[in-house]
Structures are given as structure tokens and as C-alpha cells.
Structure 1
Amino acid sequence: MRPWRIVRREAAAVDDGWPEGMHPVLRRIYAARGIAAAREVEHRLAHLLAPQQLGGMERACELLEQALRQQQRIVVVGDFDADGATGTAVAVRGLRLLGAAEVDFQVPNRFTHGYGLSPALVEELLPRRPQLILTVDNGVAAHAGVAAANAHGIAVIVTDHHLPGDALPAAAALVNPNLDGDGFPSKALAGVGVMFYVLLALRARLRGSGWFAGRAEPDLSTLLDLVALGTVADLVPLDYNNRILVEAGLRRIRAGLACAGVAALIESSKRNAATLCAGDLGFALGPRINAAGRLDDMRLGIACLLCDEPRRARELADTLSAINAERRDLQAQMVEQGEATVAQYLARHGADTLPLGVVLFEPEWHVGVVGLVASKLKERLHRPVIACAPAGEGSDEIKASGRSIAGFHLRDALAEVDAREPGLIQRFGGHAMAAGLSLSMARLHDFAAAFDAVARRRLDAALLDPVLHTDGCLDAADYDLELARQLRFAGPWGQAFPEPLFDDEFQLIDWKTMGETHLRLNLRHARCREPLAAVMFGGYQGSPPPARLRAAFQLGIDDWNGRERLRLLIRHIEPL
């Protein structure tokens, strides 16, 4: 395993259309992310891609209009992650706004149903006598579940964003920007984004058919706080279209217009709604929603997002926070176990023999947390990792979740394993950077060998070089609280549109620990007259930081006790 290497981003050419007062550092940051014109950071809802460009939209809206006019019973089937939960809430709220009288929801339980629309879930829905099932963030691989619904005379509309397999389910309509031949320009929509687009297209169709005659059209922008939360939490690339959605949702939240559930989650996580940014959605709110699906029942999360009574919403949000705290403790234990297993392997066999595609299994691991373990170990090892756990107590089935590195398409790798060894994987699905699968306990070693073999064929040696991309160094005048404020809100930053990160050389003045693992430092910069306060979370490894160091850092803001101060947030340190 190789040490991290700092590489400075190269800026693209910039046109002359930037506002005169824009900070030159911000111009440089935008250019390094491929933005060459001011219009590309104007996140206006008017610039959203047209919903009608999504394939399958016309048929889906036709069926939904029919369901509204006939007052059919609609059941929304979501997923047990934050994208699925927010998407379900958007679907239920949006359809009610558009005039649906009977809209209910169901989400599979990770431990009893497995993922997505399954025959078992359809059977469970039958007492509700649904006439239409609308999936959100799932369904593109639900062949058996759709067939079961069809057998009972229930039409299914699939809305999803996951990559399809070789065949599609026999749904009455299917909306997914990642279907072969779909001309929708943005393939990065999250499941909640796809659902929001369906509602926009449905409203336009209803407008044209006179549905709103004599009454005001509903304002679907009231759903954008949920769209922003699900989009950021699902780690989809924040392309221009997604940045418009996220920024619009953040503006609503900062203006105090979030729904009661989102407002309660912000309060429970001790964040400030007026200064909320995309990072808060991803690192504070999203994990609280996800925790319900990982350790309990995602219906708790959805109930919070659908709640309109502030006191009850806060009770639900506090319950989610408690579940999330339990999840953090469990995750820490599992990561420690995984790291110990890797360390033992390295001590016994050496680093050169470590698989390029790492597969880890512990019989006591919790199936709801293995994806987070894979993510942490992927960061430490800088190679694709799949973490596995028993599907249930006494089960001979394994459920696994994987995380990948840039340049290695995880779902395609699993598809290659499946093609080379049919039957080895029972089910799989996902994206380039994350995927899930199930297999027999008896075939675990076969799978580990097959996955490593595919990784060795597909992974170029250069991809294993852990690179930290930065935006270069700052002038002395740029170590400035006002620039830190501008950078905080200049995004929204996220996946594929990374938050600004700088690097430079410093001299250590003094340091101390915070808690057991965090560092608080005072640094001297050659070009700055005053010392710079800094913090590095998780940076204490049992020895003092170097006296002279190179650091990769963000310009952060310490707002303790309501007073804002500049503080560097250090991400990486190396000695000089």
C-alpha cells in the first residue's frame, strides 16, 4: 500500500463573464472543476433539464393521471436508504398535492424482505388492495416482484436510477435515466430526483388536461428540501442539474421553509438551518435517516419526513439520532475488526500479496452496516472492498456491500464475475462506486477469488496510487474569514464537485489532543503574520505531529459560542 500523494488540480480556461467582485480564489476553484463560465454556477430552477426528456415519462404520467381521476389506491414502494426514504416522502407528498385521495407507502425491511419490490412484499401489500404500485429508487431489477404484482392485476410504475441488467421487468411504465438509449442528458439523478421529475411532468400533463380548472396549481418546490437531502445523501455526482436541485433545497431550508421532519433533523443534529450546507445534509441528516434502515425500520425515517406536527417530528428525529448513535458504535467495532483482520494478513503474508479486490467476512457482523465498513476500509486500503455478513442468524446466505475507488466500476466488475461464473452470485446491483450482492455461504471463498481476479484484470496500477487533489496554496491575504464564508456557500459541494481543498507548508507552534483521537494545532505560515488555528479530526495516532509539515486543508469556520473565527480543517499531514 502506497502513501497518499498530493496533486494540484489544473484549472481550465476561464471566460470573461464572471462577476467583477468574485474572489480570484473562487474563480480558480471553479475553473479547476471544469466550469469556465459564470452561467454554470447560476443555479436557477429555470435551468433544470426538461422532465419530458426522460424516457418512459409519457406512459408513467398517463397511468398516474388515470389513477388520480379514478381515485385509485396507490402504494409507493421505496428503499431502505436515505434516497429511498426521501423519494418515498416526495412521492406521497407530491401525489397528495396533485389530488390523489388514497396514497400509502411501504418500504421493505432489510432483514425480512431484502431489497426492492419482491414477491413477498407484494403479498404483504394485498390486504391494502392497491390498484397501482409506484416504486421509488428501486424496481429496475425487480423482475419477480413486478411479475407477482401483474399476476394480481396490479399495475406497476417503476421509477429508479440504478443500472439495469440485461433485461427489464414487465412494468406498465419504467422511468430511469440510465436505461440504454435514454436521451436524458443527466445520468446522475438520484432516485428522489427521478421521482421529483415524474411529479413535474405529471403536473404539466394535468395542467394541459384541465385538472386544475378553478383551483391553484400546487407548488412542488415545497418538496425541494427532501430532494436536496436525498440527492446529497446518496452520493450521486453533483452535476449541474443536481446542483440546481440541491441549491434550491438548501435555499428553502436556510429561509426557514423546510418541512417539519427536516427541520427536526437539523435541530436534533445540532446544526443551524440558516447556515446549512450540503455537507450537513451528507454527514449529519443523511446518516440519521439511513440508520433507521440499517438497524431498525425505515418507516421511522419516512414517518419523520412526512410528519407535519413539529413536536412529533422532533420526537421521531430524536429517535433517529439515538439509532444513529448506536450505528456509529457498531460501525466502529466492525471497522476495528476489519482493520485487525487486514493487519494480521499483512503481518503474515506481506503487503505485496494483499488482494486488489478485498473481500472481508465476519460471522458476527451486522448486515445493515457492512456498506459503511467497506467504505472505511476502502479509504484506508485504497482498493475496492466488499464487506460481508450473514443474512440472518443461522442463515447460509451472505449479504454484502461494496465500495470502490475511482476508475473501477464496481457493478460492472460484479457483472463480469457473474458472467464468468454463473450462479456464483445470487443477486447483485448498484453503481460504479457502490454495489450490493448476495451469495451462498459455501461459495464465499470462490467469490473472493473471482472478485480479486476481475480486479486484477481491470485495475491499472496507477489507480492504486492514492492521490489527494488540492486547489494549490493560498496567499497570505487569502487566510481570511470572509473567503471561508464565500467558499462555504459557493457549491453546493459534494460527489464529483469536491469542496475546495488547499495545501501548503507550515511550522508547528503547539498542539494538544481533543478527546482521544483529534488534534488541535497552532501553525505558523511563512507569509502570515498571525498564527493559524487548525483542527484535525481523527488525526492523533499516538505521536506528536511533525515540527515542520505539509498539510492539505480546508478554510473552515469555528462558530463556537456564536462567534465566528477562521480555523483550518486539516485533512492530511506529511512531514517535511
Structure 2
Amino acid sequence: MIKKIIRYQETNDGDLNGLHPVLNRVFSSRKITALEEAELGMERLHPPARLGGLDRAVALIEQVMAESGRILVIGDFDADGATSCALAIRALRAMGVDNVGYLVPNRFEYGYGLTPEIVQDALARQPDLIITVDNGISSHDGVAAAKTAGVKVLVTDHHLPGAELPAADAIVNPNCSGDDFPSKNLAGVGVVFYLLAALRTRLSKSGWFQDRVITVPNLAAFLDLVALGSVADVVPLDQNNRILIHHGLQRIRAGKCCMGIQALLDVAGKNRGSCIASDMGFSIGPRLNAAGRLDDMALGIECLLADDYQTARDIAQTLDSLNRQRREIEAGMQQQALEALESITLGDNAPVGICIYQPDWHQGIIGILAARIKERFHRPVIAFAQAEEEGVLKGSARSIPGLHMRDTLDEVATANPGLILKFGGHAGAAGLSIRTDDLSSFSSAFDEHVRMRLDDAALQGVILSDGPLEPNQLTLELATLLREASPWGQGFPEPLFDGKFVVISHRVVGEKHLKMVLRPEQGKNTIDAIAFNQAEATTLDRDAVIEAAYRLDVNEYMGRRSAQLIVEQFETVIPA
């Protein structure tokens, strides 16, 4: 789908004097009105004292530590869960906890969260305290099972809670009702970081480290994990998250990251010294996630826990292989989905909320598939696969701006009791289970509720542009400035510009990417450009004029750095 280019509304609000004019424009459009709002010093982080539940949670951990009890961390099978788990293990060990281990549910055996089944496995390890990371806020039955067995439970999560909370001994989640923590956008790994910061403060005041001759750990040393998990989980990048990610990236660039992240960067062919947020999101995160999608996320966690490079590298190679396998499976599923959707037009009879299913689809890939189809049709999508339980389908949902996916599923469930077996998630993504026989009924109900929430304007895909750049601004200097200005991502998008260019030459590279040499319509100098996954546009004529939406980026090749345009989409301009 060709998206309509809409420019941010220009504003003169605020005082950003001293910034480059282009950066001033970009920050202003992202609602930054004062320089301090763009500053990324650690002193600007919201203090842990603002996060609800920390006092009780820290007291719980401190008691178990004082009694030399066993702590078991229950993780999740995505990158946020893996980094949360590795962070908890590494930091607790640094604080002198010897009896700490982890357990991560296999996606295909147990499903998501602290289920009664995973609790049974956990009990074999005789924990005194279970700490959930990136999960647990909807695990009523699992928490109850652990409590019945006499095990204390601390839930740390960032997902939206339901009407009732599980009966855990302590809960830390900025999205709980009544919690006044200013940032509701922390990833699971961010919540764990705040918990550990509060714990270190409590232990320091009690003399724990001094009594045991332990060096007080510097939690900033673990921000590489926080950066990776936060970017990979696509949480909105408010100032608090940008600060955490910025300092994590700084440590990675300085060579102070864990061996696992170093190894993952190496197998991905990324330069550690110039690592940016998009490397975490598009190169490292997918390789880590591949373990949870196709195998067992314990593999990814072990990579992040490895203390020697060769061990980390060996695991990273396996993760890279799994990611290649994931891509192959995904490509086949996407082709099947597009064939099934060939009959869908953008007319009145087309579904607004799309549900897709094939009996042989891989359960670990449906989330990516839903995201790909959503991008193509610009409509909310739920992709289903067969669950382990006979007669049950698991779905992964992705939404578009204007539709809160979890709230929509809640409305469907309320209006149709029993139609959804269980669900949970965020505004942009969610998971659910339904009976196979109910797929048709659910598809109709989902489409009906999506139609209530979205009008025709919302279904028109748009690209938000920061406007044009002058020909003399298409430089390596500006590309470098934009790259280093801030971690860009969800809710704080990377600068995107638009303009008209003359096509000097073009060719296909990597079978599906279009490499071009362009000249600004009103300029004299040429610039390299690449349009990923747009090789079908090879009918482009030389000297054609195109209107492009693009990012100005730095291309590094064979030790040479140059400015390059990353073309998001383009159309040939028809002469008047």
C-alpha cells in the first residue's frame, strides 16, 4: 500500500536555540519544547521511589537473601523477557545472592506466563521466592499454585493488568491502577532495573555489602541489557526510556557490554563502536527472539549470561542459524497469507479487522506474520496457528494507530462470553486463544468491533514526514548528527523527510532491494540511495522523477563512511 505523506505541523512553541535547524524542527515536531526535555543524563531518570510496590518487593527479596533462601526467576520467551531474566540473575549475583536461578516456559509446552504447569516444574527446584519478569500480572492460577505450595511470589511486569490482580506477595508494575510512576512505558527489563536499583539502595543502607565485603555493584553496568530489551519490545520512547537506552548504547559502543551482546553484534555483522538503537531492534533482537520462536529461550538467556566470548559466540551462531530458519518459515507463511487474501480489496465488503489462519502455520512465527500483513494492508491483523491443545487456536494480534488491541479484545470478550478463552497484551500487540470451531464467529465479531473504532481516515496509511531537506543538507555531517541525536524508535520516530529526485541509475541488489543513484530535482550533486524490499520497481526509467519518503543515514562500507538515503517508499511523478 502506498501511504499518503503528511508533514508534521510546524510549531514555534518552546525554546530549542542552539540546536541545528533541522534537529530543532525534528525535536519540536516530537513535542520537545525545551532543551532539558532532550537531555539524556542519568540524573533526569524518574526516581525509583515513584514506582509503586517497590518497598514491599524489596523487603521480600531482602528477607529471602538474609535467610540464604533460593530465588527462582521466571522469564518470558521474547527478547524483553530474556534480557529481564539475564539482568535479574547478573545483578542479584553481583549483590551476593548465590542461590538464584531461572526458568523460562517453553512457548509450545506451557504457553505464556506463570502457569500452574510451570510452577510444578519450578517446585522441583525448591525455591523460597519466585520472581516473575515481563509476565505474571494475569497469572492468577499460577500465583495461587505457588502460594499453595508455600512459595512466595513477586510479580514484576509492564503489561496491562485486568480488573483483578493476582494474589502475589508483591507486585511491581507501573501500569497498575493508582501507581503514579510518571512513565507507563517501561519495558519489562526497565521494571526489573528499577527494582534492582531500589534493592541495592536498601542493601547499602543496611550494611549488607560492607558486612560481606562485597563491592557495591554499579547498576549502570547492566544498561546494555536494558537498552536491548527496551528497543526489542518496541515500547514508546519517552524521555525516561531514551535515557536508559542512550546510556546502554554508550556502554556497548565503549566495549563495556556483556559478551552475549558483543557476540550477537559480531554474527550480525554490526560494528559495536557505531551501534544504534535500530541495530538492537532489527539485528540483535530478532536473533535473540529466534530462540523463543523456534526452540527454547533458555538458549538466548545463556548467551546473555555467558562470561567468556567463545561460549557466547558459539551460542550466538546457533541463534543466527535459528533466525535464518525463522526467515524461511516466515517467507512461506507470508506467501500463503497473501494468496489467501488476494480476494480482499479495499472496498466496502472487505474486512477491516483481518483474521488469517492455516493449519500448518508455525506458532512461533504468527506474531511476525501479523505485523507483515498489517503493514501491507494497514489494518489490524490477527494471525492464528494450531495450539498444542486439540481444538484450540493461538492468535497473535497487531494493531494500527487508533485501535487499542487489548481493549478491543476485551470488548469482544464482554459482548461474546466464552468466545475468547484468554487474552492479554498492549495497545499495539496482543495474544489470545480461541476454539478452532469459533474462528468464523470470532473473525466476524472482531471485524465488527474494529469497524466501531476505526473510520475510513484511520485506514488510510500515512507517513509522517519532517518535510524536505535542501540539497546542501544531504551531507554526511547531518546524517551523523541525526544518527547520534537520540535513540529513535516507537513513539519517538527516526527523522523521515520527503522530496523529489531524478533517478540517475538503479539496479537490484540482494535479489529484492533497489539500489539507486539520485539527484535532488533542484540540486546538482548525486547521492546513493537504497529502497529495501522494493525490487519490483525495476521498471523505473532513467531520468524519471520520483517523490520519495526517506531517511538520511550513514553508510559504512570497507572503512568508508558516506551519506545515504534509506527510501521508505517512492512514486514516479507524472509530468503535468
Q: TM-score range by the shorter chain?
A: over 0.9
Report if aligned partners of 1:11, 1:29 keep a CA contact under 8 Å in 2.
Answer: no
Query: What is the identity, as a one-letter code, of the residue corresponding to 1:221?
Result: A
Map of 2:246 onto structure 1: 247
Question: Which segments of 5 or more consecutive residues in structure 2 lack a partner in the other structure?
Answer: none
1:423 partnered with 2:422 = no
Q: Which residue identity does 1:418 align to in structure 2?
A: A
Count matched residues: 569
Matches within 5 A, 1:34-183: 34-183=31-180
Contact 1:12 1:36 in 2 (8 A): no
Aligned partners of 1:34, 1:400: CA distance in 2, in Å?
A: 35
- Aligned-residue CA RMSD (Å): 1.3
TM-score under structure 1 length normalisation? 0.97
Is the 8 Å Cα contact of residues 134 and 159 (structure 1) preserved in structure 2? yes
Aligned partner of 2:349: which letter? T
Q: 1:71-470 to 2 correspondence within 5 Å?
A: 71-213=68-210, 215=213, 216-346=215-345, 351-392=347-388, 395-470=390-465
Residue type of the partner of 2:81?
G
- Deviation of 1:542 after TM superposition, in Å, equals 5.4
**Residue 531 (structure 1) shift:** 1.5
What amino acid sits opposite 1:371 in the alignment?
G
Q: Write the distance in 2 (CA, Å) between the matches of 1:70 and 1:504.
A: 65
Rounded Cα–Cα distance in structure 2 between residues aligned with 1:504 and 1:32: 18
State the alpha-carbon separation in 2 of the partners of residues 435 and 536 from structure 1. Answer: 30
Separation in 1 of the partners of 2:17 and 2:91? 37
Match of 1:537 among 525, 532, 542: 532
Whole-Å separation in 2 of the counterparts to 1:367 and 1:545? 39
Q: What letter corresponds to residue 341 of structure 1 in structure 2?
A: A
CA drift at 1:13:
2.9
Q: 1:436 to 1:258 in 2, by over 3 A?
A: same
Q: Determine if contact 2:506/2:538 at 8 Å carries over to the other structure.
A: no
Counterparts of 1:381 and 1:74 in 2: how far apart (Å)?
46
Letter of the 1:369 partner, please give it. Answer: I
Residue 14 of structure 1 and its aligned partner are, at CA, apart by: 4.8
Q: Deviations over 1:407-464 (max 9, x none)?
A: 1000000000110111111110000000000111111111101101110111122211
Residue identity opposite 1:387 in structure 2: A
For 2:335 and 2:411, locate their aligned partners in 1 and report how far apart those are by CA, in whole Å. Answer: 31
- Percentage of pairs with the same residue: 49
- Whole-Å separation in 2 of the counterparts to 1:256 and 1:438: 43
Aligned to 1:516: 511
Offset from partner CA, 1:101-124 (integer Å, 9 cap, x none): 200000000000110100000111
User: Structure 2 counterpart of 1:83, which letter?
Assistant: D
Give the alignment's TM-score, normalised by structure 2: 0.97
Cα displacement string for residues 71-114 of structure 1 (whole angstroms, at most 9, x for unaligned residues) = 11000001000000000001111111112120000000000011
Structure 1 CA distance, aligned partners of 2:480 and 2:368?
31
The 2-side partners of 1:306 and 1:228 are apart by 16
Preserved CA contact (<8 Å) 2:352 2:379: yes
User: Does the Cα contact within 8 Å between 1:12 and 1:34 map onto a contact in 2?
Assistant: no
SS of residue matched to 1:60: helix
Residue identity opposite 1:198 in structure 2: L
Could you list the per-position Cα deviations for residues 348-376 of structure 1 after superposition, in whole angstroms to 9, with x for gaps in the alignment?
xx743111110000011000000000000
Alignment partners' CA distance in 2, 1:436 and 1:17: 41
How far the C-alpha of 1:516 sits from its partner, in A, is 2.2
Q: Distance in 2 between matches of 1:352 and 1:242?
A: 41
Q: CA deviation at 1:16?
A: 4.0
Deviation of 1:17 (Å): 5.1
Question: 1:500 is matched with which residue?
Answer: 495
**Structure 1 residue 212: deviation in Å?**
2.3
Quick one: distance in 1 between partners of 2:260 and 2:477? 32
1:234: how far off?
0.1
In the TM superposition, what whole-angstrom CA distance separates every residue of 1:481-511 from its partner, at most 9, and x where no partner exists? 1110111111100000000110001111221
Distance 1:345 1:474, change over 3 A: closer
Q: Which moved more, 1:100-109 or 1:525-534?
A: 525-534
